[in-house]
Amino acid sequence: MRVRRVDQRTSVGSVALRAPVLTASGTAGHGTELGAYLDLAELGAVVVKSLAAEPWPGNPAPRVHPTPAGMLNSVGLQGPGVDAWRRQDLPALVERGATVVASIWGRSVAEYAAAARLLAGAEGVVAVEVNVSCPNLEDRSRMFAHSASATAEAVSAAVEASGLPCWAKLSPNVPDLVEIAGAALTAGAEALVLVNTVLGMAIDPARRRYRLGSGPSGGGLSGPAIRSVAVRAVHDCRAAFPTAGIVGVGGVCRGVDAAELLVAGADAVEVGTATFADPRAPAVVLHQLVRWCRRHRVAAVRDLVGAVHADRPVIPAPRAARTATTTSSPTASSMAAATQTPPPAGAASSPAGTASSPAGTAVPAASAPGVRPGEPATTGTGASVDGDLVVRLKEALDTIDRRVAVQAEHMARLNAALAALTAALSAPEPGEPPP
């Protein structure tokens, strides 16, 4: 069966989305900044930069620093405040046809409530992302996200004040993320956004100085380096909360990265740091994901969600190599035997009509990976010419995807380095000579 059209629709909690790829808060601006590069209405949603009830200046420069597989940032949640954002930025987003998720933050439960209250009734806003990776001034500046009770209080305040579906954006920097996630859901969150940045730091050894303006507070690591952290968080929370909405975020640069998070249990994914290298990244990832689904015979994105947890086979990729079936043609049999890849040394052979599992256990051919129920199996060059073409095309597309990902990482490091240099030159420390 060839998939010609992939159903991209998904839902996060009660919020229906046209597509499974969203922007990540903090990387897409407050308004239509990305509108010059992609169709905002094509995405599942635009998640805007986190907003407080009042304007906030953020941290001193420099604010970003490149890492080998991502970047560190200490922007400090700079923003115009919810009221100014509603007047200045939201109308343009609505006009572009964007589905909008507003992200909020605060330094106290009252500040979360105030920010959420200002969003009540906002046209075009379908959900509130509650960013709890913020210092709680009422608890010795401990992060809300590091405490189950503090997370619950912030989420509950946002739910009651906004009247909108709330998503809790959680930090991976905790001993038991599932416990924090459970507290957020119990407090009224419809969904979990997993994960925020990982705590990190960069120091210039030659100057004996911190590389970020936040000094000893360090910054948040994002990009491909944390993708496996996000996958684990999504996987574990989906296992613990089968019916909760989950949005995966962290290091998504390619369509296959998005597919991995979906299979781990995410209903949708957000693209963040990759946008700094290419502002078209969210649309590129979405297009690659759809293409990946076609190649792997996935008719609907929802079929991927949580598939690794399900007791059902995953739809196989269109591989040419299949298990041998009975044939009356000695020539075909000998050709197939000659072209099959030999098993690893010591591997047990399987009788005709069976396939070897990774452990060497024979399983029926009908249930072997790559064989669809009721479909005759072939092997080696016994596959059809069309099948061989599909395999070669898939391999070529996979190679292109890998090269695009490498180029995106190179561009991310270059852009981050330029941004850090610009910030450093524009805000030199008093009395300090240039490096």
| Catalytic residue set | 134
- Please, which residues bridge with residue 340 across strands? none
Q: What is the distance between the alpha carbons of residues 346 and 362, in angstroms, rounded to a whole number?
A: 15
End-to-end CA distance of the chain: 62
- For the chain, give the number of residues: 435
Q: Are 19 and 8 in contact (CB under 8 A)?
A: yes
Q: Is 430 helix (H, G, I), strand (E, B) or coil?
A: coil
Residue 151: which residues within 8 A CB-CB, separation 6 or more?
A: 132, 144, 145, 168, 170, 180, 183, 184, 187
**Residues 405 and 254: beta-carbon distance below 8 Å:** yes
Cβ contact 353:282 at 8 Å: no
Element (H, E) at 65: strand 64-67
Cβ contact 43:21 at 8 Å: yes
Phi/psi of residue 56, nearest 5 degrees: -140, 130
343's CB contacts (< 8 A; 6+ apart) are: 349, 356
3-state class (DSSP) for residue 322: coil
Q: How far apart are CA 286 and CA 296, in angstroms?
A: 15
SS3 109: helix
The 3-class SS string of 387-416 reads: HHHHHHHHHHHHHHHHHHHHHHHHHHHHHH
Residues 6+ apart with CB under 8 A from 324: 333, 336, 352, 353, 377, 378, 379, 382
Residue 375, φ and ψ in degrees, nearest 5: -105, 130
Here the tokens at position 85 are 């954002």
